[in-house]
Every structure is written in C-alpha cells, then in structure tokens.
C-alpha cells in the first residue's frame, strides 16, 4: 500500500520556493503554489491563472496571478505569529495528492504556552472557480486571540506589477478585490465568504489592494476555533460561469464533491507497480501534477511549460505539451488532449503571422506561445551574468521543430482516439500549413541532389544556427509524409495540387544516415567539435549561473549538448532504426548530455527501453518522475529564474512507464503490449483509453493480460 502523501516536517526557510512548487494544488483554471497562509509576495505566493496574460511596461508578457484570497494569520495577546519570522516548535506541511488537499500544522511556543494553527485547503475540482480553506486555531492557555483573514491584491510578479487599478470592498457578507491589468484591462477578481463555529467580534478593513476580516475572540485552553472560507476567482475572460453562491456552500459539501472528482480521475489514471513503492509514488505524483494543470472543460487553453506554478517561462506553451504531456491525456481523458490541439488550431493566425514575419510560408508556431498564438519569446531571451546585458538568442527565430511537434501530437491523438473528425475542425488546414512552412525552409545547393534545412536551432539549444540538424530534418519529413497521407485519405481539389510538392520534399530532404560506427551526427560538423566531457566543460564556467550555449557559451564549440536531440529522434521514429543503432547512439550521446533540460531523461529512458535495456532506463525514468520531488534542479538560465514544476518531465515519466516499460504500442489499429520491466518490478497494472474503449492492463512476471 503506497500512501499518496507528501510530507515535510521541519521548517526550512530555504525550501520556501521549492515547496511552492512541490506542494502545488490546482484545477486547470488556476494553480495555487504550496506556500503557507501567512505568506505574501516575498515568499512567492501565487494563484496563477491559466492563459491570462499581461505586459507591464516593456517587460516580458506573462501570466497573471490573481489577488490571493487565502492570506490568513493569527495574533495572540496582540502579537503576530507567522512563518518565516517566528520559529515554530513543530511544523508539518502535507500534500495528500490522492485527494488534492494541502494541509499544514504549526505550533509556536509563546510566553504563556503553546499555540497551534492548522489549515486544510483545496482548489475545487468540481467547481473550477472555487477555493476552500478550513483554518483552525487553538492554544493550551487562555488568551486574547485574533484571526486576520483576507484577500491580498499585492501579488508576486516576475515581470509585473500587472494590476494597475484595484476595486476592493465588501457586499452582503462577501469581500472582494478586483485587479485590472494594464495592457488589456482584464479584470481578475477574488471574493470570499467566511463562516465561524464560535462567538467572536468581527470587523473589517478595506484597503486599496486588500480587504481583511478581523475575528477577535477569547480563546479557552485546548479548544479549537475554526473558520471556513470559500473563495471564488473570476476573470473578465471567462467563458464559463461559477456554479453556486459562495455564501451557500459549506466546506464539507465542497470537499465531498472535490474528492469524488479526484476519485474519478484516479480510477482511470492510477498506475500500480508491484515491487517498487518509490517508483509508484513518484509516477503517481507526476500524474497528480498533470491533472492539476489540465484544462478540463475549458475551451481555448493549453498548458504552460511550468504548468500553473507561476510566471516562469512567461506562462507560455512550448512544444513540451504536444511532445511530452499529450500522451497521458490521449489515453486517460482524450477530451483534454483535444482541447490542447484546439488551442493550436485556434491560434494558427499567430503561426501564419510568424511565418510571414520571417519571409516563410504556412504556419510557423510560436516558440513560447501565449493567447492567440502570440509569440512570447524575445530576441534577447537570456541575461548575461557578467555584463547583465540581454543576450541575443535564436530560440524564437530558429527552433523550426515546434510546428512539427504539433503535427506529431495531433497524429498521436488521431491514432490513439480514432478521431479523424478533428481534421474537419481545422486540423487538416493546420497540417497542410505546417507542411508548407517546412517546404519554404528547404534550400538546395547547385550541385547537390537533396534539400537541406540550414541555420537552425534543434532541441539541443546550446548549438545555435547549425545546418541540417538531423532531428529537425526528420521531423520536417514526418510533416510532409503526414500531409501526403491525409491528402490521399481525404482527396480534395483544394489540396490535390500540393501532393507532388510534398512528395518531392519528403523524398529529397536530407536524412542523415549513421556513420560507420553507427552514430548519427547531430548536425553538419558536430563530430569536428571538441570532444570534451560534461565535467570538463562545467569546470570552465566562471559563474555557476553562466549560460552554456550561444555564441560564447562553454558548450558551444564542444560536443556537449543540453538535451536529448538525436535520442528524441530515435525514440520517435524507432521503426526506422535497428536496436543496435539505437543502443550505439544512446551510448554515444547520453554521456555527452548535460541534462540541462527536464525534457531529457525521459527521452533517453524511452530509448533504452526500446533497445531492451530497462535497467539503463530505470534511473533516467526515476529522474523524470521525481523531477519535482528532488531539491535542486536547474533554477537559472543566465540571470533568468526558471524554477517551477516540470509537467513535461511528469508526462515523459508516464510515457516511459506505459510505452517503455509496459511496452504499449499500437499496430494496425490494435493495442500491443510487449513489457520490458526493470529488474525490481514484479508487475504493473493500469487502465488505458484507446479508441473509445478502456482497457485494463496487468503485467505480472512478464505475463500480460489486456481486458
């Protein structure tokens, strides 16, 4: 029996940012960082809103954090007790990720005895606008106690402040703080309603950016005093209404609905591993996070690279979604996968505009996509640690592979669900225009027979502006082939004339073969670069936060790469290569990889499974599954903060477990299971949705049952 509970039972100031990520709760509409109730923007408190963006001045656009309706603290005999200022004698923070419940218990020693604060809260999975909190105070001596609870509009921002105007007040027992953003005048409002189970004197304070309730009472020894708060967040961008009036709902009712919703999620999502509790815990923790950020029943939204853990990476949607996260949703709740793809279909105008901007055709999707497909990535995306000046990077201009990732995600969806109908809802156009985009990238030297793609940044961002990145070329070919396959399946006058062009592109694009040693060169000239080890390259850093890539980065002239590149290609197109080639490339590239991206371990792990080596895959799988459970991880890119949760690693862990270790694939419209479990694992079982049917898969000692 593995308990899905995450516990920290010491208080450590330094863990505040990390705890904000790993204790996160969310419901797809917002994410609430795992900070404590008394915290403010100094401790990176955030109720991060999905898909609501704003620009403050000339800073980067990013998602908006709502006014925080959880802000609460206590005073005893006139003195405030709060973390991190007052050292506790006992402290425990917990996340029950089976039920989506965050809780804490803190005990302080006062001059007269001890006081205890307990709090449980959740982001409602059944009514997406709501947050519920139950806050309890007790003391072991008689005292004059005060609970101060309110809505704090002075929120944490990376590139803010985003609210330029506030309306705060109180009406019929409901307090509110509305913030209005500067760029598009979007209104984000938090309201709260509070119930007490004891007699107290209640008063209120309305300030410009905050509203507070002051609950004053005489506390008897050893008696618990409890307040229940139901809060609601709404925005002027919502396309669905809150359900119910917050004054009429009780904490218990909402909690019952919420835990029932989680039970339903786990019914299809839970993965049981026999023989390895740590792996089962980490994998299901990853699945928990994928559910906290899923835009369930929300139109026009996708998932940001750091989920709903804050404004890191501008709250933007990257290729991470279609490459690493979508598989989980396709096989558990395909409607969510469809919503993610719908976001790309709906934002094709942004992709068209971007292609045009670079003199290209078709649809070139944003590297960091915000609402409407707006490109959030700037030309200067990193700050140099030495000069403090912005550095020119080419992520925005040259990561051509993003459009192909979207087509790849779409085809995984179509194959996994059988929903070809999506092609009539804009997806066909999207595929064709992505193919037109890649066609417009092709160049041919006078005396060479093949097409090249030059001046590229592949997945390995440390080597910029290279020619014929093997991954990008192979992905472009995949897009041409997909466009051809679909035009042939659904002939139309509109697209018929494009067939010969896509056929020519697919047949003649340069696809690099393995060299005599079986290794596929990552890009033209890669083998000529210095073959230094990762440790050697690391030792050349002058500052630990220094950027490794770009023109002058320590890795740029070496074979050290940031993340899986050839490995990604091999695991995606495994039918094109023998197990021997895959193994040789794993052995070559993995030690040369800095693992500077959380997207990497899962790709290598999957590749190792494909070469029949689950024990080499296992530590990489654990790295991916436990990405948000482990302290550390890369927090800085140059001087830019990149901490937060890592949903791509979470999705990647799911892919490795299901497609790697359980060996699930689809062949000719049927599910096939060829397990390759790590030594420790005696078995695993899980459910999987495939083409509208739910399958129960059980593997025990390599015997498989699918029902």
Question: What residue ranges bind ligand IFM (CB under 6 A)?
Answer: 305, 313, 318-320, 459, 461, 597, 599, 648
From the number of C-beta atoms within 10 Å of its C-beta (0-12, 13-18, 19+), residue 617 rates as buried
Q: Of residues 461, 464, 590, 627, which has the active-site annotation?
A: 461
Length of the chain: 707
From the list 480, 362, 416, the residue with the least C-alpha distance to 691 is 416
Q: Is the Cβ–Cβ distance between 231 and 191 less than 8 Å?
A: yes
C-alpha span between 332 and 690 (Å, rounded): 9
From the list 557, 655, 549, the residue with the least C-alpha distance to 602 is 655
**How much of the chain is in helix, strand and coil states, percent to nearest 5?**
35, 25, 40
Listed in sequence order, the residues at least 6 apart from 544 whose beta carbon sits closer than 8 Å to its beta carbon are: none
From the list 477, 490, 474, the residue with the least C-alpha distance to 429 is 490
From the number of C-beta atoms within 10 Å of its C-beta (0-12, 13-18, 19+), residue 493 rates as exposed
Q: Which is nearer to ligand IFM, 40 or 378 (CB)?
A: 378
**Shortest distance (Å) from residue 328 CB to ligand IFM:** 16
Tokens of residue 554, six digits? 């320590």
**Shortest distance (Å) from residue 319 CB to ligand IFM:** 6
Q: Which is nearer to ligand IFM, 53 or 319 (CB)?
A: 319
Q: Is the Cβ–Cβ distance between 302 and 346 less than 8 Å?
A: no
From the number of C-beta atoms within 10 Å of its C-beta (0-12, 13-18, 19+), residue 59 rates as middle
**Shortest distance (Å) from residue 602 CB to ligand IFM:** 12
Q: Is the Cβ–Cβ distance between 64 and 49 less than 8 Å?
A: yes
From the list 675, 646, 680, the residue with the least C-alpha distance to 661 is 675
C-alpha span between 274 and 246 (Å, rounded): 43
Backbone angles phi, psi at 154, to 5 degrees: -90, 80
Dihedral Cα 502, 506, 507, 512, nearest 10 deg = 160
| DSSP tag of 240 | S
**Shortest distance (Å) from residue 648 CB to ligand IFM:** 6
Q: Which is nearer to ligand IFM, 179 or 643 (CB)?
A: 643
From the list 19, 226, 249, the residue with the least C-alpha distance to 129 is 249
Q: Which is nearer to ligand IFM, 213 or 592 (CB)?
A: 592
**Shortest distance (Å) from residue 307 CB to ligand IFM:** 10
Q: Which is nearer to ligand IFM, 362 or 652 (CB)?
A: 652
Q: Which is nearer to ligand IFM, 528 or 630 (CB)?
A: 630
Compute CA distances 154 → 41, 98, 159, 210, whole Å. Answer: 7, 32, 14, 7
Q: Which is nearer to ligand IFM, 192 or 461 (CB)?
A: 461
- Our measurement of the distance from residue 289's CA atom to the centroid of its chain's CA atoms, rounded to an integer in Å, reads 8
From the list 680, 676, 677, the residue with the least C-alpha distance to 275 is 680
**Shortest distance (Å) from residue 659 CB to ligand IFM:** 20
**Shortest distance (Å) from residue 382 CB to ligand IFM:** 11
C-alpha span between 233 and 216 (Å, rounded): 27
Q: Which is nearer to ligand IFM, 33 or 314 (CB)?
A: 314
Q: Of all helices (H) and strands (E), which one includes residue 102?
A: strand 101-109
Backbone angles phi, psi at 324, to 5 degrees: -120, -30
Instruction: List beta partners, residue 65.
Output: 48
Backbone angles phi, psi at 677, to 5 degrees: -80, 145
**Shortest distance (Å) from residue 138 CB to ligand IFM:** 44
**Shortest distance (Å) from residue 459 CB to ligand IFM:** 6
Tokens of residue 59, six digits? 């800073």
Q: Is 461 a catalytic residue?
A: yes
**Shortest distance (Å) from residue 601 CB to ligand IFM:** 13
**Shortest distance (Å) from residue 305 CB to ligand IFM:** 4
**Shortest distance (Å) from residue 431 CB to ligand IFM:** 22
78: left (phi over 0), alpha (psi -120 to 50) or beta: left
Backbone angles phi, psi at 147, to 5 degrees: -110, 130
H helix intervals, 293-325 = 320
Q: Which is nearer to ligand IFM, 318 or 502 (CB)?
A: 318
Q: Which is nearer to ligand IFM, 127 or 474 (CB)?
A: 474
Q: Which is nearer to ligand IFM, 461 or 594 (CB)?
A: 461
The DSSP secondary structure of 122-146, one letter per residue, reads EE-SSSTTEEEEEEEEEESS-EEEE
C-alpha span between 64 and 60 (Å, rounded): 12
Catalytic residues: 461
């Amino acid at each position: 029996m593995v308990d899905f509970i995450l516990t920290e039972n010491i208080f450590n100031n330094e863990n505040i940012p990390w705890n904000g990520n790993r204790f996160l709760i969310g419901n797809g509409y917002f994410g609430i960082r795992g900070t404590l109730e008394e915290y403010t923007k100094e401790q990176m408190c955030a109720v991060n809103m999905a898909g609501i963006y704003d620009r403050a001045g000339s800073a980067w656009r990013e998602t908006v954090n709502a006014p925080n309706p959880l802000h609460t603290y206590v005073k005893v005999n006139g003195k405030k007790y709060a973390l991190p200022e007052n050292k506790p004698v006992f402290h425990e923070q917990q996340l029950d990720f089976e039920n989506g419940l965050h809780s804490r218990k803190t005990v302080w020693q006062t001059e007269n005895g001890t006081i205890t604060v307990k709090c449980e809260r959740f982001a409602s999975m059944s009514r997406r606008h709501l947050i519920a909190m139950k806050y309890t105070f007790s003391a072991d001596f008689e005292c004059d106690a005060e609970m101060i609870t309110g809505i704090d509009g002075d929120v944490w921002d990376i590139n803010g402040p985003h609210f330029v105007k506030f309306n705060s007040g109180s009406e019929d027992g409901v307090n509110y703080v509305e913030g209005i953003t500067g760029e598009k005048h979007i209104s984000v409002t938090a309201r709260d309603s509070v119930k007490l189970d004891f007699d107290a004197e209640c008063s209120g304070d309305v300030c410009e950016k905050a509203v507070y309730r002051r609950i004053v009472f005489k506390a008897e020894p050893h008696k618990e005093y409890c307040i229940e708060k139901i809060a609601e967040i709404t925005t002027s961008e919502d396309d669905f209404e809150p359900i119910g009036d917050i004054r009429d709902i009780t904490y218990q009712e909402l909690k019952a609905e919420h835990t029932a919703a989680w039970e339903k999620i786990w019914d299809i999502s839970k993965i049981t591993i026999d023989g390895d509790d740590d792996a089962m815990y980490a994998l299901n923790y990853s699945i928990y996070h994928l559910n906290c950020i899923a835009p369930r029943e929300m139109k026009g939204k996708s998932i940001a690279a750091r989920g709903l853990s804050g404004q890191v990476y501008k709250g933007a949607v990257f290729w991470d979604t279609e490459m690493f996260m979508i598989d989980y949703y396709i096989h558990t709740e395909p409607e969510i996968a469809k919503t993610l793809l719908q976001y790309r279909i709906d934002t094709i105008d942004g992709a068209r505009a971007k292609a045009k901007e670079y003199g290209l055709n078709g649809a070139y999707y944003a590297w960091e996509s915000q609402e409407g497909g707006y490109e959030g990535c700037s030309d200067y995306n990193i700050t140099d640690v030495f000069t403090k000046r912005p550095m020119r990077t080419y992520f925005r201009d040259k990561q051509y592979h993003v459009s192909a990732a979207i087509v790849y995600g779409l085809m995984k969806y179509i194959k996994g669900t059988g929903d070809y109908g999506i092609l009539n809802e804009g997806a066909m156009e999207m595929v064709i225009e992505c193919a037109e985009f890649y066609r417009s990238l092709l160049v041919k030297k006078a005396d060479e027979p093949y097409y090249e793609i030059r001046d590229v940044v592949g997945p390995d961002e440390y080597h910029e502006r290279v020619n014929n990145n093997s991954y990008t070329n192979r992905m472009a070919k995949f897009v041409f082939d997909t466009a051809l396959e679909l035009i042939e399946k659904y002939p139309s006058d509109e697209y018929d004339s494009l067939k010969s062009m896509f056929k020519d592109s697919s047949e003649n694009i340069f696809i690099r073969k393995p060299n005599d040693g079986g290794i596929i060169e990552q890009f033209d000239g890669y083998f000529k670069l210095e073959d230094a080890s990762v440790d050697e390259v690391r030792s050349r850093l002058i500052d630990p936060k220094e950027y490794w890539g770009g023109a002058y980065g320590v890795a740029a002239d070496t074979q050290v790469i940031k993340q899986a590149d050839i490995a990604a290609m091999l695991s995606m197109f495994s039918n094109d290569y023998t197990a021997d080639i895959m193994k040789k490339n794993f052995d070559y590239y993995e030690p040369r990889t800095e693992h500077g991206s959380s997207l990497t371990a899962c790709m290598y792990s999957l590749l190792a499974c494909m070469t029949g080596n689950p024990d080499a895959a296992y530590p990489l799988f654990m790295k991916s599954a436990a990405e948000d459970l482990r302290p550390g991880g890369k927090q800085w890119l140059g001087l830019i903060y990149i901490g937060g949760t890592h949903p791509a690693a979470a999705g990647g862990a799911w892919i490795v477990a299901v497609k790697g270790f359980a060996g699930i694939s689809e062949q000719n419209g049927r599910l096939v299971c060829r397990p390759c479990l790590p030594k420790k694992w005696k078995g695993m079982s899980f459910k999987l949705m495939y083409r509208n049917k739910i399958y129960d898969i059980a593997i025990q000692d390599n015997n498989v049952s699918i029902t």
